[in-house]
Amino acid sequence: MAPSPLFYQAGPALPEVSHAKGVYLWDDTGKQYLDGCSGAIACNLGHGRDDIRDAMLAQLDRVAFTYRTQFESAPAVALAETLVTLTHRQLEKVFFVSSGSEAVESALKLARQYFVASGEPQRQRFVSLRPSYHGSTLGALGVTGYEPLEAPFADITTASLKVPGPDFYRHGDADDAWHVTRVLEETRATIEAAGPETIIAFVLEPVGGASTGARLLDRRYLEGIRALCDEFGCLLILDEVLTGVGRTGAWFAYQHYGVTPDLLATAKGLGAGYYPVGAVLSRADIVETVMASGGFQHGHTYAGNPLACATGLAVIDAMQREHVLDNVAARGHELKEGLQALKARFPWVGDVRGLGLLWGVELVADATTKAPFPAEQNRFARITALAREEGLLIYPRRTLNGVAGDHFLVTPPLTINAADTAELLVRLERAMLRFDREVTASTAKAATP
């Protein structure tokens, strides 16, 4: 067979997908896979839904594309109003895009233009966490804290000020409250050293994604960051590309904490894998200031196209009609219990953490010291490969700034039922048993004189 002209990232040859239904996919040999990570944490309603297809076909029969400077479309207006309603009108303006990176990039540019229009052009920098992931476009990459992704482009990106976020698994403080206090103090010191008057916004994920393995924040920390932003006059941008639209059991993850952002980026689950659509949600006064200065100097060809917005509407309608958030709570509890039971069995599982149907499993060489496996062993890739062999898709990354540590995400579609949740855990257990034998053999070999 001739090599494919496609290229993405380095790695082994991949199977060719044949078809999918519900939480399962099949390759062209007939092998079945349980989608334990919703693709890239995007296929939130599973595969092959007739209701989403029908809504898309109905819109295709009317009009698939219009340009945002030439027409409004009923689906775009309706989806914007729906999103505003889901924030309880705390965020009242919406700008549509096609991806998570575009959503973050748009939020960064909107925040910057707001301060230019407000007479504060000296605000030129962002603050974000290390580790973190905010996208692959150059602006979004600048606020990302994940060394392998940053390194090739460091000379051509404008890097944000990087500060540590809370790490409730690895911190060495006396208690969690003191840990949060110390992290907030370090954040304040970094901003004050750079000059608070130069800061545009603080950018963070309310629950960590691929870069941290679902690392959790807490209310006290987010309240502290909100207070710092208010004190220094900068904005708070929440990246809910991954967590938004129900993934954590609320429409948006910030709603668990009661801390409202000034801008919010979302994507992935909004189209649920059926069509690319994302959005930036904003306080009304930010948008009004920018529009009064001549308009937002930004845009994308497919932003707000009718087909994308009709898809987003169908996704949210299905979630409301089927009470999907209730399912997230129930299945999330089952998944948590199952993962914690596996943690108790395998000493190389250092931590299980998450919220709703967003769960991370961190792997360690030593559970007592929390020392990671040697990076060259690529344990995160190995357990993912074993899971694939067992017919389960999980999502791997490195925990410690992308250069060390191993974790994987378990993030099935939000519509997964109890039986398939149990099957997910069975397949994961089989992969972990095989992984355990390999770790045991490797340890024994290393100990042999």
Q: What is the pLDDT of residues 277-308, one digit of tens each?
A: 999 999 999 999 999 999 999 999 999 999 99
What secondary structure, in 3-state letters, does 146-213 show? CHHHHHHHHHHCCCCEEECCCCCCCCCCCCHHHHHHHHHHHHHHHHHHHCHHHEEEEEECCECCCCCC
CATH superfamily of 17-48+323-444: Aspartate Aminotransferase, domain 1 (3.90.1150.10)
**Do 52 and 45 meet the contact criterion of CB atoms below 8 Å apart?**
yes
Per-residue model confidence (pLDDT) at position 449: 66
Per-residue model confidence (pLDDT) at position 1: 58
- b/e 397-424 (16+ beta carbons within 10 angstroms → b): bbbbbbeebbbbbbbbbbbbeeebbebb
Torsion angle, alpha carbons of 155, 156, 160, 166, to 10: -70
Among all chains, which residue has been given the structure tokens 């110390």?
Answer: 182
Residue count of the chain, please give it. 449
Tokens coding 11:
């790695």
Which tens digit of pLDDT belongs to each residue from 329-351?
A: 999 999 999 999 999 999 999 99
pLDDT tens for each residue of the chain, 449 residues long: 577 888 887 777 889 999 999 999 999 999 999 999 999 999 999 999 999 999 999 999 999 999 989 999 999 999 999 999 999 999 999 999 999 999 999 999 999 999 999 999 999 999 999 999 999 999 999 999 999 999 999 999 999 999 999 999 999 777 999 999 999 999 999 999 999 999 999 999 999 999 999 999 999 999 999 999 999 999 999 999 999 999 999 999 999 999 999 999 999 999 999 999 999 999 999 999 999 999 999 999 999 999 999 999 999 999 999 999 999 999 999 999 999 999 999 999 999 999 999 999 999 999 999 999 999 999 999 999 999 999 999 999 999 999 999 999 999 999 999 999 999 999 999 999 999 999 998 877 776 76
Indicate where the chain has its CATH 3.40.640.10 domain(s): 51-321
**Do 364 and 371 meet the contact criterion of CB atoms below 8 Å apart?**
yes
**Do 386 and 354 meet the contact criterion of CB atoms below 8 Å apart?**
no
* C-alpha distance across the termini of the chain, in Å: 46
Residue 26's H or E segment, with its range, is: strand 24-27
* CA distances for 265 relative to 142, 294, 307, 358, angstroms: 16, 23, 20, 18
d(CA 252, CA 266): 9
Tokens coding 19:
């078809």
Residue 129 phi, psi (nearest 5): -95, 155
Which tens digit of pLDDT belongs to each residue from 40-91?
A: 999 999 999 999 999 999 999 999 999 989 999 999 999 999 999 999 999 9
Per-residue model confidence (pLDDT) at position 174: 78
Among all chains, which residue has been given the structure tokens 């870069």?
Answer: 211
Residues 6 or more apart whose CB falls under 8 angstroms from that of 101 comprise 134, 135, 136, 137, 140
pTM greater than 0.85 (yes/no): yes
Please identify, in words, the CATH class of the domain defined by 51-321.
alpha beta
Indicate where the chain has its CATH 3.90.1150.10 domain(s): 17-48+323-444
Per-residue model confidence (pLDDT) at position 12: 77
Among all chains, which residue has been given the structure tokens 């998450």?
Answer: 354
Per-residue model confidence (pLDDT) at position 31: 98
- For residue 131, whether the previous peptide bond is cis, meaning omega lies within 30 degrees of 0, is yes
In whole angstroms, what separates CA 214 from the centre of its chain?
9
Residues 6 or more apart whose CB falls under 8 angstroms from that of 109 comprise 139, 296, 297, 298
